[in-house]
Amino acid sequence: MRIAIVGLKGSGKSTIFSSLTGMTDDDPHDRGGKRIGTVKVPDERVDELASIHKPKKTTYAEIVFTDQNTAAEPSGSWLSPAAASEFRAADVLAAVLRSFENPALPEAANPVAEFQAIEEEFILGDLAQVEKRLERIDKEKGTGREKEALLACHAHLDASKPLRTLDLSENQWDLLRGYAFLSQKNILVIVNTPEQDPKFMPEQLAPLLDEAGSTAMSLCGTMEAEIAALPPDEQTEFLADLGVETSARHRFIKMAHDALNLISFLTGGPDECRAWSIKRGTKAREAASVIHSDIARGFIRAEVVSFEDFKTAGGSEKQARAAGRYRLEGKEYEVQDGDIINFRFNV
């Protein structure tokens, strides 16, 4: 999963990036002024499988965070062409809203106004993209399903509504997939709070988030960045002193998985134990393709045991089989969170 950090000037988005990745300003940027940080998604089930199989390799699901340095752009705009391109390539956007006072900025903190400004910019960008495409279709005397879908998008955007709230059929969205509309992407909101009130969440933001189909969490970027830079054992101690059970990174990962409706299935053996992220509702054959297209192409059956059943059987494949916990499922089986799967295939 690729998440791009979005934020207006002074919002602290780079500090939030550091708090989520553990990277600092001293870590290198790429030539485009962008930082990339990869975070492993903690999963106790993978840990337990690895303790049983003692594999050569243990692989967790990953989240790749990107932080585009818009100050590197001649325009200085937070939605420069480079930033827009980066955001379009992301699976989800994390919008950082400032709720702390910044002496370097003349404006008082207003997270609600910042959220509205970000949404408006995305909507206007998508509207310009749709209008440009419709003009080309008209010049080419084009008609058909794509134009119909684009006209629906135009009407929605023209009413200042993000495309993530537009009700189109799955087939219509498939026709428009290549446009990577910004206002269609899920936005996870991070309210960047002052240290004296790290759990602050503006009441006025809730109805806007509901209307926009978004979700939010609050965290203090400066404090969480300091915690993320500590060794793991010191992080636990620091969090305990603050009366907090989990770090901002863990809370954000959970929010992201819930918002994107993601689950994980597992594979395990002496070579590798691994978690694979998929959308809830994914069928067995489609899940197989996440591992390799050949497995999906030659799919025969999925040999499945739930992690809980496997654990109940003492973490032993032999005992789980003897207890009848394993079952064979066809290509239409809907994979469940925590399923341990061995795919049978022939190519």
For residues 49-75, give the mean pLDDT. Answer: 83
**How does residue 32 score in pLDDT terms, banded at 50, 70 and 90?**
low
% of residues, the chain, pLDDT over 70? 93
pLDDT higher than 80, residue 24: no
> What's the pLDDT score for residue 142?
64
Helix (H/G/I), strand (E/B), else coil: 331: coil
Q: Which residues lie below 8 Å from residue 290, measured CB to CB, with a gap of 6+?
A: 276, 278
> What's the pLDDT score for residue 49?
94
> Domains, the chain, ranges and CATH?
2-42+61-107+185-259 (3.40.50.300), 118-182 (1.10.150.300), 281-345 (3.10.20.30)
> What's the pLDDT score for residue 72?
47
Partners of 66 in beta bridges: 4, 36
pLDDT higher than 60, residue 117: yes
pLDDT higher than 60, residue 29: no
| pLDDT tens-digit series, residues 133-181 | 999 988 887 668 899 999 999 999 999 999 999 999 999 999 999 999 9
> What's the pLDDT score for residue 277?
93
For residues 193-213, give the mean pLDDT. Answer: 90
Residue 99: CA atoms inside 13 Å, Cβ hemisphere, count? 28
pLDDT higher than 80, residue 74: no
Residue 68 or 129, more confident? 129
| pLDDT tens-digit series, residues 287-337 | 999 999 999 999 999 999 999 999 999 888 889 999 999 999 999 999 999
> What's the pLDDT score for residue 28?
59
> What's the pLDDT score for residue 26?
67
Arithmetic mean of pLDDT over the chain: 89
State the residue for tokens 């992220």: 277
> What's the pLDDT score for residue 69?
72
For residues 248-261, give the mean pLDDT. Answer: 86
List, in sequence order, every beta strand (DSSP E) within the chain: 2-7, 34-40, 57-59, 62-68, 92-98, 187-192, 215-219, 262-267, 272-279, 299-306, 327-329, 339-345
For residues 104-108, give the mean pLDDT. Answer: 87
